[in-house]
């Protein structure tokens, strides 16, 4: 049996003990709040979990989850003081879809051994040449309903597996891979910002990172 009060009768039916426990844990990770505020934030977080996990189709999700910390201008001011942002679950799924579309396009580049979202542990030589999409910052996009994902697209090669030509040959291959990544990003409507190198600080692998903005555009109503 849940311990918190859920004023939204529809969502309350789906607020289970397990979801409530995860919501409280997520709030506690943000910091220490007064008991009343902790409970209210946990209710909001539990609503978000419900929306994400009980969705059958994208259209099932509401555009906004109403918070338990108050409505209108006063409630908005309270949320700003707490550093709490309303999450749009549909927007979150839309961003993931954009990342997955970019991953699918980049994975099709010839000779790329692995392409994934996120930088996992335990990468081995068999994963190279590799591409990893690592979201670093998410902001409201333009127009208002969009979301923009600032993403690091890391790509690299195993230096020890390079053919004749040494490090210069590795650079040549990486610049070719960089050009292909940028071209595919632009074809998807995304924006290239810059490329950062590892400055030859790694002995075994050669890595570079493209900074790009991926725009998650909501489909027209």
Domain boundaries, the chain: 9-87, 92-216
Confidence grade of residue 51 (pLDDT, cut at 50, 70, 90): confident
In sign, the C-alpha dihedral spanning 116, 103, 206, 196 is negative
Q: Flag whether pLDDT at 101 surpasses 60.
A: yes
Q: Flag whether pLDDT at 42 surpasses 50.
A: yes
- The pLDDT mean for the chain works out to 81
Q: Are strands 147-158 and 205-216 parallel, antiparallel or unpaired?
A: antiparallel
What pLDDT shows up at residue 84?
40
Tell me the pLDDT tens digit for each residue of 141-184: 655 457 788 999 999 998 876 666 788 889 999 999 999 999 99
| DSSP code string of the chain | ---S----HHHHTT--HHHHHHHHHHHHHH----HHHHHHHHHHHHHHHHHHHS-SSGGGS-S-PPPSS--HHHHHHHHHHHT-----HHHHHHHHHHHHHHHHHHHTSTT--EEEES--S---GGG-SEEEEEEEEEEE-SSTT-EEEEEEEEEEEEGGG--TTHHHHHHHHHHHHHHHHHHHHHHTT-EEEEEEE-TT--SSEEEEEEEEEEEEPPPP-
Instruction: Please state the rounded mean pLDDT for residues 41-54.
Output: 87
What pLDDT shows up at residue 142?
57
Domain 92-216 is of which CATH architecture? Answer: 2-Layer Sandwich (3.30)
Residue percentage of the chain with pLDDT more than 90: 43
Residue percentage of the chain with pLDDT more than 70: 76
pTM: 0.58
Higher-confidence residue of 130 and 35: namely 130
Confidence grade of residue 16 (pLDDT, cut at 50, 70, 90): very high
Tell me the pLDDT tens digit for each residue of 177-198: 999 999 999 999 999 999 999 9
Confidence grade of residue 81 (pLDDT, cut at 50, 70, 90): very low
Q: Flag whether pLDDT at 68 surpasses 60.
A: no
Q: What is the largest CA-CA distance in the chain?
A: 69
Distance (Å, rounded) from C-alpha 171 to C-alpha 169? 5
Instruction: Please state the rounded mean pLDDT for residues 123-131.
Output: 93
Confidence grade of residue 64 (pLDDT, cut at 50, 70, 90): very low
């Amino acid at each position: 049996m849940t311990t918190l009060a859920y004023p939204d009768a529809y969502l309350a039916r789906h607020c289970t003990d397990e979801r409530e426990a995860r919501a409280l844990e997520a709030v506690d990770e943000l910091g220490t709040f007064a008991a009343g505020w902790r409970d209210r934030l946990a209710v909001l977080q539990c609503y978000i979990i419900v929306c994400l996990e009980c969705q059958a189709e994208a259209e099932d999700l509401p555009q906004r989850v109403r918070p338990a910390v108050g409505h209108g201008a006063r409630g908005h001011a309270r949320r700003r003081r707490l550093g709490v942002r309303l999450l749009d679950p549909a927007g979150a799924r839309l961003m993931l879809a954009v990342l997955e579309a970019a991953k699918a396009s980049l994975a099709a580049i010839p000779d790329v051994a692995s392409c994934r979202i996120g930088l996992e542990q335990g990468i081995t030589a068999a994963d190279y040449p590799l591409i990893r999409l690592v979201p670093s910052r998410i902001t409201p996009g333009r127009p208002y309903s969009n979301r923009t994902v600032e993403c690091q697209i890391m790509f690299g090669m195993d230096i020890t597996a390079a053919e004749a030509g040494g490090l210069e040959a590795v650079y040549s291959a990486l610049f070719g891979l960089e050009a292909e990544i940028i071209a595919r990003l632009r074809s998807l409507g995304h924006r290239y910002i810059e490329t950062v190198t590892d400055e030859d600080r790694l002995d075994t692998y050669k890595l570079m990172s493209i900074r790009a903005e991926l725009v998650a555009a909501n489909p027209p109503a």
